[in-house]
Structure 1
Amino acid sequence: MKASDDTYVTPIYILSGFLGSGKTTLLARLIDYWQEAGLKPAVIMNELGDVNLDGLLVKQEVPMEEMLGGCICCSIRGDLGVTIHELIQQEHPDLIVVEATGAANPMELLDGVTETALYMKLDIKPLITVVDSAYLMELFDRQQGKTYRLMQEQIRCASVLILNKTDRLESSRMQELVKLLNQSNPYASKIPAVKCEVDLRELLIEGEGTQRAFDHAGESQHAHRHNQSHSRFRGPSHHDPAHPSEPGQASEEHDHHHTHSHVMVHTHYLSGPVNSEAFERLVADLPRDVYRAKGVLTFSDTNNSRFLFQYAYREPDFMKITPQGDIPDVVVFIGEHFDKEELSRKLHALEAGTLSME
């Protein structure tokens, strides 16, 4: 299925990490990986300044949009949806990667991308953060400063952490690094790397919400990959082009996945109008781990009127709207390590009219 197909749901990846951590190096490796699989990636690159020097490292044949002069999560956040929309309409990519400036707040960025999912069919992948291991430990020794707090936030929000530049750390410091990361984010997969040289297929599978134990701080990646029997991880879905399968590869990972990942987004496109009271009951029963939601819905018991739905601080809000253009009915949920399967089950029951009102 091509990205130009109206039914296609475009995967979108977000790369986070402080300035100089190695995000662009990882991006270049990912582009090569997808292109070798016959896919067409597109890139949105954000820089605080007026010139995008990192963009020069991206291949010229890769469609790229630059968002300059501000942080994607604040001053130019409103432009993000327009940029995503234009890329999909004009370039029809198989997937999009958003590389945010190192000063970006990941949660604000995720929130901005989910707004676009209200009118564009997007599959928002879990966030990947590249950690400058040596610099983080240097800041940890000082225990102060906005940079350290920002790096902690980027770490806390990730589902996958690439521990880059580990060659600059002594073994004792590596153990401290792992302990620090486990304290900040015990749920994320942690992959040590030098110059972001990682198994990219493994990275993308890990990003689907799985947890891999990093039991030994000094353990090499090679040895770790041969110890996968101690981890459960979710294989790529057959319709997702972002995880190209290798010939003859077993697909038994599908039987062992779980969906209790860390910070994540669950997007559900509704098949038709739903009952407003049943939907309000579903929202009232959301676990506290879901702290943000939004959507566009049609209610069957209000003469098929359409509403913009917002949910924050456990309070829902509905506004009657008349969307322009072909806007699908969709709800998007943001939270931490909640049960996506259970939420999906309730949403399907809502559509079928069988959701319990008790």
Structure 2
Amino acid sequence: MSVQTPVPESSGGASPVPAIVISGFLGSGKTTLLLAVLHHMRRLGRKVAVLMNEFGDISIDGEILRGEGFSVMELSDGCICCQIGEDFVQAFTEVATRQPEVIFVEATGLADPVDLLDQATAPHLLDRVTITRLVTVADPKNFTRLSKVLKAIVKRQTQFADVIVIGKADEATPEQIADIRRYVEENNPYAQVYLATHGIVAGDESFQWLLAEVEPAERERRRAAMREQLAALNEQEYKAHTDFHSMSCRLLRPLVRERFEEFMRQLPPDIVRAKGFVRFEGEDGLWVMMYVNGDLYIRPVTLSPSPEEHLVFIGARLDHAQLASALVACEGRRRALAVL
């Protein structure tokens, strides 16, 4: 990504813009939370900015936000905490010069919060932006398994969070929620834990748990705790960016729903996340597809502008030729598929 707008040398004495970083593993519900708070801010007439990072080279979540009428600056095909760090700092600087009331940053599900904090606290950003909260969204249905299979990723995203949001609480069992609470207590007892359904924390639709100002002393206490954790952390544990890859496909024809759903349900376990927009043969309208660790969700969606039909797959191992061939078999009578 290239940001063209010239950036002045100083902020001219303006107060740093508060920024809230939303992280969490792939498919945990980060965009759902972000959409909920953005709608709330719109109702209040608040001026906000959004930075969104997609691991794949095609945006899905950004298209959803734009289709809901929100302005988004995106950084794609990499992770803001390392591969596209310089672009992230440049984009962060640009949105800060617009002086929004708050900046929301949605990190890719593979983001390392340690490197992300390092990028967000670059020297020339310090007088422009201040990170007020690091929020990690946890998927209760998959958290326990992921904390064992992808130990380093989950641990780091938990350890450095100010707030842990247990998303999809309406789909969770009491045991699943209790497992997350125990894990947080063991790895980050300073974090506040909230349950959310569709991005809304029960009893607090004003998002004060997220938007309220953090006292400087409290913020420094949290940062001191993070520094202690970082000092004891084995940097060699974290390898998410070499372990995961993405594949993007543009669909040029509608799919046969039954074939597509069967294909998605038979994805190998190495593919942990898939998402995209599809059209089905014989059905009107656009559909958004979300796949998380074996769970498939397909629902109709109306967005303006309407995005192109495309899919993104993320996993430890991706057989591009096999996936492309299987998708072609899902198309209707006229077949065409562009693998990007």
TM range (shorter): 0.5 to 0.7
For residues 84 and 179 of structure 1, the distance between their equivalents in structure 2, rounded to whole angstroms, comes to 35
Residue identity matched to 2:75: M
Residues 1:203 and 2:203 aligned together: no
Deviation string for 1:290-321 (max 9, x for gaps)?
979xxxxxxxxxxxxxxxxxxxxxxxxxxxxx
List aligned pairs for 1:328-343, cutoff 5 A: none
Instruction: Give yes or no for contact 2:28–2:167 (8 Å, CA) kept in 1.
Output: yes
Please report how far the alpha carbon of residue 116 of structure 1 lies from its aligned counterpart in structure 2 after TM superposition.
5.5
2:222 to 262, 265, 272: 262
For residues 48 and 32 of structure 2, the distance between their equivalents in structure 1, rounded to whole angstroms, comes to 16
List aligned pairs for 1:173-192, cutoff 5 A: 173-192=176-195
Q: Give the structure 2 partner of residue 194 of structure 1.
A: 197
Residue identity matched to 1:201: F
Residues 1:52 and 2:59 aligned together: yes
Q: How does the TM-score come out when normalised to structure 2?
A: 0.57
Residues 1:97 and 2:104 aligned together: yes
Q: Provide closer, same or farther for how the CA distance between residues 66 and 158 of structure 1 changes in structure 2, counting only shifts above 3 A.
A: same
Deviation string for 1:32-52 (max 9, x for gaps)?
122222211111110111111
Aligned residues: 217
Please report how far the alpha carbon of residue 84 of structure 1 lies from its aligned counterpart in structure 2 after TM superposition.
1.4
Deviation string for 1:205-233 (max 9, x for gaps)?
5783xxxxxxxxxxxxxxxxxxxxxxxxx
Instruction: Give yes or no for contact 2:23–2:157 (8 Å, CA) kept in 1.
Output: yes
Deviation string for 1:167-212 (max 9, x for gaps)?
333323332331122111111000012222212433225783xxxx
Please report how far the alpha carbon of residue 261 of structure 1 lies from its aligned counterpart in structure 2 after TM superposition.
4.7
2:75 to 52, 62, 67: 67
Structure 2 unaligned residues grouped into runs of 5+: 1-10, 232-340
For residues 116 and 62 of structure 1, the distance between their equivalents in structure 2, rounded to whole angstroms, comes to 29
Instruction: Give yes or no for contact 2:54–2:77 (8 Å, CA) kept in 1.
Output: yes
Structure 1 unaligned residues grouped into runs of 5+: 209-233, 238-256, 267-287, 293-358
SS at match of 2:210: helix
Q: Relative contact order (alpha carbons < 8 A, sep ≥ 6): 1 or 2 greater?
A: 2
1:161 to 140, 159, 164: 164
Deviation string for 1:78-126 (max 9, x for gaps)?
111111122233x442221111000100111011000055464212212
Instruction: Give yes or no for contact 1:41–1:62 (8 Å, CA) kept in 2.
Output: no
Q: Provide closer, same or farther for how the CA distance between residues 95 and 172 of structure 1 changes in structure 2, counting only shifts above 3 A.
A: closer
Q: Provide closer, same or farther for how the CA distance between residues 55 and 202 of structure 1 changes in structure 2, counting only shifts above 3 A.
A: same
Q: Provide closer, same or farther for how the CA distance between residues 29 and 87 of structure 1 changes in structure 2, counting only shifts above 3 A.
A: same
Deviation string for 1:12-51 (max 9, x for gaps)?
1111111111100111111112222221111111011111
1:7 to 4, 10, 14: 14
Instruction: Give yes or no for contact 1:81–1:116 (8 Å, CA) kept in 2.
Output: no
Please report how far the alpha carbon of residue 59 of structure 1 lies from its aligned counterpart in structure 2 after TM superposition.
4.1
Q: Provide closer, same or farther for how the CA distance between residues 174 and 92 of structure 1 changes in structure 2, counting only shifts above 3 A.
A: closer
Q: Provide closer, same or farther for how the CA distance between residues 183 and 151 of structure 1 changes in structure 2, counting only shifts above 3 A.
A: same
Q: Provide closer, same or farther for how the CA distance between residues 85 and 51 of structure 1 changes in structure 2, counting only shifts above 3 A.
A: same
For residues 265 and 62 of structure 1, the distance between their equivalents in structure 2, rounded to whole angstroms, comes to 35
For residues 65 and 260 of structure 1, the distance between their equivalents in structure 2, rounded to whole angstroms, comes to 29
Instruction: Give yes or no for contact 1:18–1:102 (8 Å, CA) kept in 2.
Output: yes
List aligned pairs for 1:1-358, cutoff 5 A: 6-59=13-66, 61-89=69-97, 91-115=98-122, 117-118=124-125, 120-140=127-147, 143=148, 145=149, 147-198=150-201, 199=204, 200-204=206-210, 208=214, 258=218, 261-263=221-223, 289=228
Instruction: Give yes or no for contact 1:125–1:265 (8 Å, CA) kept in 2.
Output: no
For residues 290 and 175 of structure 1, the distance between their equivalents in structure 2, rounded to whole angstroms, comes to 24
Deviation string for 1:64-90 (max 9, x for gaps)?
21101111011100111111122233x
Please report how far the alpha carbon of residue 158 of structure 1 lies from its aligned counterpart in structure 2 after TM superposition.
0.3
RMSD: 2.9
Instruction: Give yes or no for contact 2:50–2:104 (8 Å, CA) kept in 1.
Output: yes
SS at match of 2:62: helix
For residues 259 and 81 of structure 1, the distance between their equivalents in structure 2, rounded to whole angstroms, comes to 22
Question: Percent identical across equivalent pairs?
Answer: 31
For residues 101 and 173 of structure 2, the distance between their equivalents in structure 1, rounded to whole angstroms, comes to 41
Q: Provide closer, same or farther for how the CA distance between residues 39 and 169 of structure 1 changes in structure 2, counting only shifts above 3 A.
A: closer
Q: Provide closer, same or farther for how the CA distance between residues 62 and 119 of structure 1 changes in structure 2, counting only shifts above 3 A.
A: same
